[in-house]
Amino acid sequence: MAPCDYECARSGRAGGLAPQELMADTNREGRERWSIAPYFIVDDVVATANYYRDRLGFGYERFWGDPPSFCMVRRSGIVIMLAQLERTGVMRPNRFADPEGGAWDAYIWIDDADALNAEFKSKGVKITRDVCDQPYGCRDFDVEDCNGYRLCFGQDIEGT
């Protein structure tokens, strides 16, 4: 691996591609848009990337580091960065800071909450809150990944 590869990957320039180049870079009106990629610290980057691939339907192209310590998983324009530090046991999902245990680590807008919920259930994903309509105009549900990170997948039902 070239000396810059690992640092470039951690800084979001994977294989010469910036995250905005990995995702669609325009909105419905054809203007540029911003995007964000959550950065999850995990104890085992390979096992986590495989979980995201096998259970959540994300894909990945490669790992960085020797041994592997970084990967970017993607699905439908969403990128989640996974990083394994030298020290284990330092993962801090947001729900641990929330006395109710319901804080998300990422909210992901999707097209069809019911279909994705059914897909995840068929793959044995841990659903922590089933799909329902919310007062904020979304139909969404929560899952917990193999590290305890909570992802909420939501569909805009108000058409805004």
The continuous run of DSSP H or E covering 39 comes out as strand 39-42
Banded pLDDT at 34 (limits 50, 70, 90): confident
CB-based contacts of 149, cutoff 8 Å, min separation 6: 40, 91, 93, 105, 106
Residue ranges of domains in the chain: 3-84, 94-156
Peptide bond connecting 99 to the previous residue in cis, omega within 30 degrees of 0: no
**Domain 94-156, second-level architecture:** 2-Layer Sandwich (3.30)
Is residue 152 within 8 Å of residue 140, measured between CB atoms? yes
Q: Which CATH class is domain 3-84?
A: alpha beta
pLDDT digits (tens, 9 = 90+) for 79-138: 999 999 999 999 999 988 987 878 999 999 999 999 999 999 999 999 999 999 999 999
Cα–Cα distance, 139 to 147 (Å, whole number): 25
